[in-house]
């Protein structure tokens, strides 16, 4: 029987993960602190390890999980490790994948039992390959880690003023592999759009109570739908958008297709989950990416993103805790793979493709 190691200082998460892995036929060892985890690693080899980043209670700066991953790399390199956390930054996630050889990094706030089971199946069916004589990074450098393993899931924006519908959309999108940002009003959504990037959006056309009616001398004129304002912003950011609404005239539907170039319009009265998921997949695929993008490693994508935000080589190096010469090497690889020759050309393409907002 395969053994699994679960390390988390939260008793509830220990129970949840232990139940899932036991149901998958694994014998599970539990640890709630660094010392206990290191002792188990030294005593017993494991097929799989699920490790929380922070084992310091309320200390969100605690990163004992990274030390445990290093110990696994030294003492049990065949173990497939998964970092499950609520506090990981992009930089930590990249380091976990590239430097510490973890299989993936998952976020607790979007954890889903079914998805986790599927992930475990894939991880155990395709264990990582290690080079002899290596430790810590498990014989891998960041050039060998493809972008497809960077599983800080893409983010979808949901703007809906009905709590029941928000819950439905969140469940479906999470099952489809997205992080989900929920908003209930135009103002809340606008703030999110200015802070974050999204690969797609699901929006209601009518958002009640999210803004004051505009003053007008014509008492028969209805205040403009906040959903219309929202769609204009989504269109400006080139975010594929699926409208799901229960209040819209044929004229409104024609207008949003013509003026805001939405991807699809679905009516709540005839809503079907299967059709919604199919539409979401098609919307995501409608966002075209250039040849060569899929060849970028995780680290190269991070360097490209920071470059597009106006950071210098020195600043990129400081953010990623690497040397400026390493940044230059990554940029050279990025330029070659994307067929560009200058920083400005690469930055312009990144802004266009990813919707990155330059600082």
Co-location of 96 and 201 in the same domain:
no
Q: Are residues 265 and 336 in the same domain?
A: no
The whole-model pTM stands at 0.45
DSSP assignment of 262-328, as one string? -SEEEEGGG--HHHHHHHHHHHHHTS---TTGGG-BHHHHHHHHHHHTT--HHHHHHHHT--HHHHH
| Structure tokens belonging to residue 235 | 């269109």
Of 230, 263, 285, the last residue of a domain is 285
Tens digit of pLDDT for each residue in 277-336? Answer: 999 988 887 765 555 666 777 678 778 888 887 889 999 988 888 889 999 999 999 998
Residue 9 pairs with which residues in a beta bridge? Answer: none
Domain assignment of residue 339, given as a range: 293-354
> Per-residue pLDDT tens for 227-247?
888 999 898 888 899 999 887
Burial 228-265 (b: 16+ CB within 10 A, else e): bbbbebbbebebbbbbbbeebeeebbeebeeebebbbb
CATH of the domain at 215: 3.40.50.2300
In a domain, 342, yes or no: yes
79-82: long-range contacts, CB 8 A cutoff, minimum separation 24:
79/5, 79/45, 79/46, 79/47, 79/48, 79/49, 80/47, 80/48, 80/49, 80/123, 80/124, 80/127, 80/128, 81/48, 81/49, 81/50, 81/51, 82/48, 82/49, 82/50, 82/51, 82/106, 82/119, 82/123
Asked if residue 359 is part of any domain, the answer here is no
Is there a single domain that holds both residue 181 and residue 97?
Answer: no
Mean pLDDT of 83-103: 72
Work out the percent of the chain whose per-residue pLDDT is above 90.
Answer: 24
Segment 108-139, tens digit of pLDDT: 877 888 888 888 887 777 544 333 333 333 33
pLDDT at 126: 52
CATH number of the CATH domain containing 336: 1.10.10.10
C-beta separation of 178 from 193 below 8 A: no
Residues 143 and 159 reside in one and the same domain: no
* Res 193: pLDDT: 84
Q: What percent of the chain has pLDDT over 70?
A: 79
Rounded CA-CA distance 31/5 in Å is 8
User: Which H or E run contains 73?
Assistant: helix 64-75
Are residues 227 and 161 in contact, defined by beta-carbon separation less than 8 angstroms? no
Number of domains the chain contains: 3
Q: Are residues 194 and 329 in the same domain?
A: no
Residues 7 and 144 placed together within one structural domain of the fold: yes
| 102 plus 137 within the same structural domain | yes
**Quick one: 40 and 113 in the same domain?**
yes
**261 and 163 belong to one structural domain:** yes
141 touches 98 (CB < 8 A): yes
Residue 210 pLDDT grade (very low, low, confident, very high; cuts 50, 70, 90) = very low
User: What confidence score (pLDDT) does residue 341 get?
Assistant: 86
Q: What is the pLDDT of residues 14-41, one digit of tens each?
A: 999 999 999 989 999 999 999 999 999 9
Q: Does residue 165 share a domain with residue 139? A: no
Please report whether residue 126 resides in a domain. Answer: yes
Residues 207 and 246 in one domain: yes
- Does 341 reside within a domain? yes
Which of 148, 175, 192 is the endpoint of a domain? 148
Final residue in a domain of this structure, among 261, 285, 309: 285
Residue 23 lies in a domain: yes
Q: Are residues 326 and 195 in the same domain?
A: no
Cβ-proximal residues to 269 (8 Å cutoff; 6+ apart), any chain: 246
Average the pLDDT over each of 149-153, 169-173, 203-207, 301-305 and give the range with the smallest value. Answer: 149-153
Q: Is residue 13 part of a domain?
A: yes
């Amino acid at each position: 029987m395969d053994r699994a190691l679960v390390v988390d200082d939260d008793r509830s998460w220990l129970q949840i993960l232990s139940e899932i892995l036991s149901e998958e036929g694994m014998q599970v060892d539990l640890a709630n602190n660094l010392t206990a985890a290191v002792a188990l690693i030294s005593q017993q080899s494991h097929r799989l390890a699920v490790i929380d980043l922070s084992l310091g209670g309320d200390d969100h700066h605690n990163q004992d999980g990274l030390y445990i991953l290093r110990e696994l790399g030294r003492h049990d390199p065949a173990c497939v490790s998964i970092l499950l956390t609520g506090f990981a930054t992009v930089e930590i996630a990249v380091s976990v994948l590239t430097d510490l050889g973890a299989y993936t990094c998952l976020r607790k706030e979007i954890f889903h039992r079914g998805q986790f089971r599927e992930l475990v199946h894939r991880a155990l069916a395709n264990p990582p390959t290690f080079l002899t004589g290596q430790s810590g990074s498990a014989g891998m450098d960041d050039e060998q880690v493809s972008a497809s393993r960077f599983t800080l899931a893409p983010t979808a924006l949901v703007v809906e003023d009905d709590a029941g519908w928000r819950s439905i959309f969140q469940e479906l999108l999470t099952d489809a592999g997205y992080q989900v940002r929920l908003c209930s009003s135009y103002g809340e959504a606008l703030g999110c759009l200015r802070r974050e990037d999204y690969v797609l959006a699901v929006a209601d056309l009518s958002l009640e109570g999210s803004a004051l009616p505009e003053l007008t001398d014509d008492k028969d004129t209805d205040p403009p739908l906040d959903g219309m304002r929202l769609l204009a912003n989504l269109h400006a950011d080139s975010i594929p958008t699926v409208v799901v609404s229960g209040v819209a005239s044929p004229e409104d539907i024609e207008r949003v297709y013509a003026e805001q170039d939405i991807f699809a319009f679905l009516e709540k009265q005839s809503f079907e989950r299967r059709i919604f998921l199919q539409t979401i997949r098609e919307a995501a695929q409608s966002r075209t990416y250039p040849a060569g993008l899929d060849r970028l490693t995780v680290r190269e994508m991070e360097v490209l993103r920071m470059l597009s935000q106006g950071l210098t080589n020195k600043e990129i190096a400081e953010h990623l805790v690497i040397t400026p010469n390493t940044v230059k090497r990554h940029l050279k690889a990025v330029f070659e793979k994307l067929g560009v020759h200058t920083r400005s050309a690469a930055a312009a393409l990144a802004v266009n493709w990813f919707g990155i907002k330059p600082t």
